[in-house]
Homo-oligomer: A and B are copies of this chain.
Amino acid sequence: MNYFSSSFKLGILGGGQLGKMLLFDTRKFDIQTYVLDPSDEAPCKIACNHFVQGDLMDFETVYNFGKKVDVLTFEIELVNLDALEKLENEGKKVYPSPKTLKLIQNKGVQKEFYTKNNIPTAPFEKFENLDNLKSKIQNLKLPFVWKCTEFGYDGNGVKIIRQTADLENLPNVECIAETMVPFKNELAVIVCRNPSGEIKTYPVVEMEFHPEANQVEYVICPARIDEKVAEKARAIALNVSQQFNHVGLLAVEMFQTEDDEILVNEVAPRPHNSGHYSIEASYTSQFENHLRAILDLPLGNTDSKVAGIMVNLVGAEGFSGDVVYENIETILGWNGVTPHIYGKKQTRPFRKMGHVTIVNENMAEARRIAEEVKNTIRVIS
């Protein structure tokens, strides 16, 4: 198959920032792209070859879009699964496969998959709905983590239940109650696999939390953890990937417990926030490797050239409207600092507007600059 400067067509479901960053590599390789997104202002709208505006959850829209392309991928999991299955059954190459997506889209099914395949994960119980959970509350040990099984995104659909009253106002939908396991680090490993079975893992990254706000502040590569723990995390991520038998990227989020056990939290079958550092720090970025994987090309080197740290740029509280990146000129003056602006014209509190990567030969120096970046740039209006 000739992908380069040819009539080959790659379809991408979703036109957000992940798609936008993927398009840097389709442009670099001159691979023709079609993008489907509901928004007329999608960050992918320019830089793809053909933009189609439409509903990602609508069967007909996704099916008809998929018919037009040679290989279909997605940058968001919330897409019409039935359409993907029908396309795959008709012989269309859909990567990752809807079979993988089906195991992941529902968090209950995903957790059961781990248990069935002996993948370490926090103990949990599944409930048809909230009423059902409430009726069995006496069997559950407080505190626990409530998660709705579907349509959660970026922390939505997750709540720590410390007392029964915390259950009030939650939606009456299928959910799980997960044991709260004390952990000392939240880690992630991105695995990449192509249809021929070539498989590679990126180094373990570490999410550093704000000591009070309990919010991820930095994604740090490599994680500042014991080499043995890192090896274990990569081995578990590799095992998860092999069990799913996925194609493309699989971001495996994990907890490192107080006694250095690794528990799988959840996975995402696509480029992931925890891999954005790779654009500047790695020999091959996660986006290029996703593209290589779904086209069954050889995978690129996942090693890092230098230490990399990522800081998310989210809309500051109290600001809505035309976005201004306050002090961006200042941070541009610092060594190894690269802002990525996703192209959303309007900011609102906590909206993901971009990220900043800090790379340096020296991790401590990268960490120092990252903190200055975090304290300097502000997304306001």
Contacts and interface: CB of A to CB of B under 8 A. Distances in A.
Which of A30, A284, A306 is packed against the most chain B CB atoms within 10 Å?
A30
A339 B5 CA distance: 12
A333 B298 contact: yes
A342 B30 contact: yes
Interface string A329-345: 10011011111111111
A29 B339 contact: yes
Nearest to A353: B5
B4 A328 contact: yes
Contact of A292 (B28, B297, B325, B332): B332
Contact of A46 (B2, B49, B298): B49
Interface in A19-76: 20, 24, 27-30, 46-49
A337 to B, nearest CB: 8
Contact of A335 (B27, B301, B328, B342): B301
A325 B31 CA distance: 13
Contacts of A324: 2
A341 B28 contact: yes
Given A49-B46, A306-B305, A329-B298, A283 B341 contact: no
Nearest to A28: B340
A237 interface: no
A335 B305 CA distance: 12
A300 interface: yes
Contact of A300 (B48, B283, B301, B332): B332
Contact of A297 (B6, B332, B343): B332
A343 B305 contact: no
Contacts of A336: 283, 301
A323 interface: yes
A303 to B, nearest CB: 9
Nearest to A354: B30
A75 to B, nearest CB: 16
Nearest to A31: B341
B47 A27 contact: yes
A47 B288 CA distance: 18
Contacts of A4: 323, 325, 328, 339, 341
A359 interface: yes
Contacts of A6: 322
A305 B46 contact: no
Contacts of A284: 338
Nearest to A345: B5
A132 B3 CA distance: 53
A300 B297 CA distance: 33
Which of A24, A297, A323, A332 is packed against the most chain B CB atoms within 10 Å?
A332
Nearest first, the 9 closest Cβ-Cβ pairs linking A and B are: A298-B333, A30-B341, A30-B343, A305-B305, A47-B47, A298-B332, A4-B325, A4-B341, A305-B306
Given A4-B323, A4-B328, A298-B332, 16 more contacts: A2-B324, A4-B325, A4-B339, A5-B323, A5-B343, A5-B344, A24-B28, A28-B338, A47-B47, A284-B338, A288-B338, A297-B332, A298-B329, A301-B336, A305-B305, A305-B361
22 contacts: A2-B324, A5-B323, A5-B341, A6-B322, A24-B24, A24-B28, A27-B46, A27-B47, A28-B341, A29-B341, A30-B342, A30-B343, A46-B47, A46-B49, A297-B329, A297-B332, A298-B329, A300-B332, A300-B337, A301-B335, A305-B306, A305-B361
